[in-house]
Amino acid sequence: MKSIKSTQYTEISTPVDFNYEECLVHLGRSSQENLYRIKEGKVIKLLKLNGELVLFQLTSVPGALRIEFPLNAPTPNETKQVVAYIEDWFDLTTDLQEFYEMAEAEPVLNPVVQQYYGLRVIGVPDLFEALVWAVMGQQINLTFAYTLKKRFVESYGDSVVYEGETYWTFPHPETIAALPLADLRALQLTGRKSEYILGIASIMAIGDLNKERLLQEPDMESKLLEIRGVGAWSANYVMMKCLHDASAFPLADVGLHNALKAQLNMERKPTIAEISELSANWSGWEAYATFYLWRSLL
């Protein structure tokens, strides 16, 4: 991606097939989301970069995403980090031509891919956030998962106020690692999930786990499965949403099952064996197939 900088803003060029409006549909799926806000097509988000809080707003212009900084002018390094974050968040560097060609020949995928063409896998660039979100979301509905995340963020994240609204960052592992178990339990997290999150925070705080090292692993899934509280679904969710593994496949995902049930006009959810057979030709693009099917539920 090329980055164009002026005195007022920075722009990131976007792929020809990029559909910002479709990406906004996914980003706007919960009214409880508190890590960014969407206002009249503009996404406003706060990041903590090298100890400094940086608020940016993102809008779509022809052929690009425009980044503006409404509070303070960022340093060149902060601008570079925000650009990298957005490229990661919207998966702007992945060439989807092969995925679209594959989907054309797949009866279950072709209708949703045509309908939502240009949608990107909206990621979770921060590994700690991705892991915590995966653990929080285990075996509960999405609405309650968002409630838990909102409490977690507003209890332990950093914040700034802009135009009367409070913007939050996701808590840092070091902050969470120092907490007693009872503090997380007080948010209505189960004892087990509280333990898992504290464990993840601890190994990340001491540097035993980080995104850069994971990306170098030949078998990322096995490394993730070594983390207490991370099972096959959570590992594949993190690989899909944070590590840009297009072959990640959360096979047991309830949303995936519901979407396939609807697309296939079935009276029951398909079995894991049926999904495995159905997805035989998705190899290398399972994450994108899953994400487009999730979109069909919104």
Angle between helix 286-295 and 232-241 (nearest 10): 90
pLDDT-derived band at 4 (thresholds 50, 70, 90) equals very low
Q: DSSP H helical segments within 11-109, as ranges?
A: 20-27, 76-89, 97-104
Catalytic residue (one of 91, 126, 245, 253): 253
Whether 253 is catalytic is: yes
Q: Among 72, 63, 56, which residue's Cα sits nearest to residue 12?
A: 63
Residue 201's H or E segment, with its range, is helix 191-205
pLDDT-derived band at 3 (thresholds 50, 70, 90) equals very low
pLDDT digits (tens, 9 = 90+) for 117-163: 999 999 999 999 999 999 999 989 999 999 999 999 999 999 999 99
Q: Among 290, 105, 137, 130, which residue's Cα sits nearest to residue 214?
A: 130
Provide the whole-model pTM: 0.95
What's the one-letter identity of residue 229?
G
Q: Are 112 and 100 in contact (CB under 8 A)?
A: no
What's the one-letter identity of residue 239?
M
> Dihedral angle at the C-alpha atoms of 79, 162, 90, 172, nearest 10 degrees?
80
